[in-house]
Amino acid sequence: MTPARIDAAIELSDERRLAYAEYGDPSGVPVFLFHGLPGSRLAWGLLPDDPFPPGLRIVAPDRPGYGRSDPNPQRSLLDWANDVTQLADALAINTFTIVGVSGGGPGALACAWKLPERLSVGVVACPAPIDAPDVFEGMSKTNRFFIKLARRVPRLSTLNVRFLASMIRRSPARYIDAMKYKVHDVDKAILARPEIKELLVKDFAEALRNGSQGMVDDMNANHGRPWGFPLGEIKVQVHCWFCELDLSVPPAIGQYLRDTIPTCEAEFVPDAGHLWILENLNAVLHALALTHQHHK
């Protein structure tokens, strides 16, 4: 575990609170780390192994509606990019790297499109937009159901997500035990580590401390409507990691992003699943910090 060096919040221009945690070197290369769905700013400090390479200043915000951040109902991905801009300005950070993990990936790509002069981007297991062609090959039936419901029947999707969030809040440990039946064996082995289960229990509890709005808005923004920007217009370097045994965000999505984003470099990790990042964050951060130094 790596306790947060700073656990604070800023007030945004519309008077919402945006919470964030900082880890690592306060004078290091700045890296903004976007959590998954659900998730919180505290997840990264709960990782059992040393997740942060030396020389990095990690800034980990709670998206609106998660943790200690105020909700912003019906937020778009570009709304989130505006929040990130205000956070960077408040922290006097001009150029930086963003790493978006899973459900945090679309917001990272929105920042890549909106702030090309300020950042480089990496995404791990990033979902595809609603207008992507059929990218469900290799995806679990559960994930297909959630995504298709968000695309086709958004009101029912919202009810479904609220019910799921209530289940997780009631017993994060029981939900994590149920995850074992929906993932590949390589992910089951990671979930079997007591320290990983403890991490996820604490992270999910913090993420949903104030209810389900963060999950609802993530599902709608990521899967229920167009993202609001063309992937083909992204001009900054984007590095993608996709795992070949990921049943949540399968390699077909990585191939789509690689072929659609002109500046995308995609890496397909063999013999790894959706939870690979929990054991390999250090390597991802190291690779992207080098990209940032070239970007400057």
Q: What is the DSSP string of 55-72?
A: TEEEEEEPPTTSTTSPP-
Q: With respect to residue 153, please indicate whether it lies within any of the assigned structural domains.
A: yes
**pLDDT over 60 at 126, yes or no:** yes
Q: Given this model, what pLDDT does residue 293 score?
A: 58
Q: Ramachandran region of residue 60, left (φ > 0), alpha (ψ -120 to 50) or beta?
A: beta
Number of domains in the chain: 1
Residue type (1 letter), 91 = L
Q: With respect to residue 218, please indicate whether it lies within any of the assigned structural domains.
A: yes
Strands 264-269 and 119-124: unpaired
**pLDDT over 80 at 249, yes or no:** yes
Q: What is d(CA 88, CA 265) in angstroms, rounded to the nearest whole number?
A: 25
Range list of β-strands (E), 170-289? 238-243, 264-269
Q: What is d(CA 233, CA 217) in angstroms, rounded to the nearest whole number?
A: 25
Query: What is the tens place of the pLDDT at every residue in 176-218?
Result: 999 998 999 999 999 999 999 999 999 999 999 999 999 999 9
Q: Given this model, what pLDDT does residue 194 score?
A: 95
Query: What is the tens place of the pLDDT at every residue in 26-46?
Result: 999 999 999 999 999 999 999
User: Which range is most confident: 45-59, 125-139, 237-251?
Assistant: 237-251
Q: Which domain holds residue 237?
A: 6-295
Q: What is d(CA 139, CA 253) in angstroms, rounded to the nearest whole number?
A: 10
Q: What is d(CA 39, CA 134) in angstroms, rounded to the nearest whole number?
A: 27
DSSP string for residues in 11-68: E-TTS-EEEEEEEE-TTSEEEEEE--SS--TTTGGG-SS--S-TTEEEEEEPPTTSTT
Q: With respect to residue 1, please indicate whether it lies within any of the assigned structural domains.
A: no
Q: With respect to residue 202, please indicate whether it lies within any of the assigned structural domains.
A: yes
Q: With respect to residue 15, please indicate whether it lies within any of the assigned structural domains.
A: yes
Between residues 294 and 153, the one the model is more confident about: 153
What does pTM read for this prediction?
0.96
Burial of residue 3 (number of CB atoms within 10 Å: 0-12, 13-18, 19+) = exposed
Average pLDDT along the chain:
95
Burial of residue 172 (number of CB atoms within 10 Å: 0-12, 13-18, 19+) = buried
Q: What is d(CA 151, CA 222) in angstroms, rounded to the nearest whole number?
A: 10
Query: What is the tens place of the pLDDT at every residue in 129-166?
Result: 999 987 899 999 999 999 999 999 999 999 999 999 99
Q: In Å, what is the CA distance from 114 to each residue of 31, 85, 284?
A: 17, 10, 23
Q: Given this model, what pLDDT does residue 296 score?
A: 53
Q: What is the CATH number of the domain that holds 39?
A: 3.40.50.1820
